[in-house]
Structure 1
């Protein structure tokens, strides 16, 4: 079934010819964009898309000026253009760059309306978070078609499928979980529609909280008392403050209290802190999700 899905996603990139120099039409979240041949100068306003490009071996000539995840910092070319923040692109710099393609997604998706009149622009946003793993694989497939790297994209997707299967097998029978997000001293729960929904949807770890209403930033607000009353077997934690660079270690300090320490998860050492930037900034990026899957695997095997 997954191979059929990826084949369908690959078909969204329609090539008039496989030869270099021929136009291709790329279907994406906000329409269709024509490209002439394989792009060589690439601008990207989204760190998850940068992550996917880097995994494919595509070098970006322009990147966001802020919020670079630590695990990607060494991959950013020293001479890369800084083309504005995730929310406020530098359209003058983008226009002057004379690039072949410009990728936006998620936080920068609103830039599409302006950017598409400047240069070929593609929105790599995912429709929803119900199948984040499938969404990442679909984006890798699409980028592979754009850059003539279909074999590399297939290799990455195979590795991601294998990692998910490995972690899912280890997670089976290990109990339920709450995925907590901490935000400026507040506590929330992320569920099956959140930016880390793969914990429940693809790994099969059931949520200890039914009917989670995911908030935009802070999840479904809960109290420490609620966490103790729910008493999950596992806690997965997203530190939003660390993810946005506002502070470091705030989540661990917040959760080190009498109520949380009484939970089954805490007493068994079953609290797993996900890489905050991979979980909050680049949740749709290949390397970031592989990093978090390894963290979950290590925690489950601990």
Structure 2
């Protein structure tokens, strides 16, 4: 199904990046005035009056600066916020990484998960700023209605946009909204460097397949459209061992180990979903175990040569710019990059 924003917003993604970047540059202390004196003066006045102007998928937003009561629902931006020392009053901790400082903070209201969010907790948090996106995209209108005095920033990404561009646009937007432009710029620079390393290390003659493991099963991740790994094929210009379209873009498609063996990929890129979501102490068959114990896969080039790169164990709960940076660096290291 086509993403609801595509019809009206996909063509302006590049312009949005430019607007957010321009705003970030204009807000740095000591920076030169932006082109267009009136716009630059207006931006300066906004900051002095306690707001900053950002542009998201919904349009132009006046964000309180600094915001005093922040709610975040998007797991892909929360680790950066935590690292920047941004306090939050509420978050859906059930679907956030467990190592966040917020997870042990009794003052942070747990909104639960996107399936059955605690909207009463959201109202009780009385936010002045809500950063909303990804699994909570469908709750945007409800949140707007429940906390009408809060400023909403849509941190969603365009699933049809280039992965690296969307990750950069998203974190740049969040950095600008929270006054952490430098921190966002560092994350973007790290991502770009990791992509360059992985691209240089990869031999385009070698074929690659993406896999996802969950519940003891191995699923196929389609190039470009498949969950998490799919967009990596375009970012790194990888040569697919199998070009089968995705039926399930979220959880991977059923595939027999015989089909994997027949495709005989030189490299496997693997996400272990259970590693991120299995209850503490629960027993499950991890990706490495499933692959190593499959007799049908033992003659696959990638398995024989140990050419298997696993996404970070908590990737399913992070999926952020830091996680992709770490993954690209792992790809570069595995492929002998400098």
The TM tier, using the shorter chain, reads: 0.7 to 0.9
With the length of structure 2 as denominator, give the TM-score of the two structures: 0.77
Deviations 1:183-233 (A, max 9, x none): 333332222123223431112222111243251333232110100000000
SS in 1 for 2:55: strand
Distance 1:74 1:92, change over 3 A: closer
Match of 1:152 in 2: 183
Q: Is the 8 A contact 1:9 1:141 kept in 2?
A: yes
SS in 1 for 2:153: strand
Q: Is the 8 A contact 2:205 2:239 kept in 1?
A: no
SS in 2 for 1:238: strand
Confirm whether residue 49 of structure 1 aligns to residue 93 of structure 2. Answer: no
Confirm whether residue 273 of structure 1 aligns to residue 310 of structure 2. Answer: yes
Confirm whether residue 298 of structure 1 aligns to residue 329 of structure 2. Answer: no
Tell me, in whole angstroms, the C-alpha distance in 2 between the residues paired with 1:212 and 1:198: 13
Distance 1:242 1:121, change over 3 A: same
The structure having more radius of gyration, on CA atoms, is 2
SS in 1 for 2:164: helix
With the length of structure 1 as denominator, give the TM-score of the two structures: 0.86
Q: Is the 8 A contact 1:88 1:108 kept in 2?
A: no
Q: Is the 8 A contact 2:114 2:136 kept in 1?
A: yes
Tell me, in whole angstroms, the C-alpha distance in 1 between the residues paired with 2:306 and 2:144: 50
Distance 1:75 1:295, change over 3 A: farther
Question: Given the alignment, which residue of 253, 270, 278 partners 1:245?
Answer: 278
Q: Is the 8 A contact 1:12 1:27 kept in 2?
A: no
Match of 1:78 in 2: 105
Q: Is the 8 A contact 2:198 2:331 kept in 1?
A: yes
Match of 1:201 in 2: 234
- Root-mean-square deviation (CA, aligned residues, Å) is 2.9
Tell me, in whole angstroms, the C-alpha distance in 2 between the residues paired with 1:183 and 1:276: 13
Confirm whether residue 181 of structure 1 aligns to residue 209 of structure 2. Answer: no
Gap runs ≥5 in structure 1: none
